[in-house]
Amino acid sequence: MDPQMLRSTFAVVERRAEHAVTYFYAHLFRQEPSLRELFPGDMRPQRDRLFAALTHLVDRLEDPDLPAYLGRLGRDHRRFLATPALYASVGTSLLAAFAHVAGAAWTTEAEKAWTEAYAHLAELMLAGADEAVAAGEPAWWDADVVRHERHGPDLAVLTLRPRRPLPFLPGQYVSVASPRVPRVWRTYSLADAPRPDGTVELHVSRVPGGVMSTALVHGTAPGGVLRLGAPDGALVARTEPGGQRAYICAGTGWAPVKALLSEAVEREPALKGRLFVVARAKELLYGRRDVERLAARLDGLSVTYITSAPGHPKDQATERLVQSLRSCVHWSAHDVYLAGPPGFVTEVVEVLVELGTAPDRIHHDALPPVSPFAVRPRTAAERLLGPPAPLWHNPAARAPRTGAASWGRREGDDRP
Identify the structural domains of the chain with CATH numbers, from first to last: 3-134 (1.10.490.10), 141-228 (2.40.30.10), 244-398 (3.40.50.80)
State residue 4's pLDDT score.
92
pLDDT of residue 406 exceeding 80: no
pLDDT of residue 397 exceeding 50: no
Mean pLDDT check: name the lowest of 32-41, 215-224, 319-328.
32-41
More confident residue, 388 or 406: 388
State residue 411's pLDDT score.
35
pLDDT of residue 312 exceeding 80: no
State residue 368's pLDDT score.
54
Per-residue pLDDT, averaged over 58-63, amounts to: 89
Q: Tell me the pLDDT band of 366, cut-offs 50, 70 and 90.
A: confident
The overall average pLDDT reported for the chain is 86
d(CA 184, CA 45): 10
Phi, psi at residue 228, to the nearest 5°?
-120, 135
| pLDDT-above-70 percentage for the chain | 88
pLDDT of residue 75 exceeding 70: yes
d(CA 35, CA 290): 45
State residue 386's pLDDT score.
52
Give yes or no for a contact between 364 and 345, defined as CB atoms under 8 angstroms apart: yes
Instruction: Dump the DSSP string for 343-404.
Output: HHHHHHHHHHHHTT--GGGEE-PPPPPPPHHHHS--SHHHHHHSPPPPTTT-GGGGSPP-ST
- pTM comes to 0.81
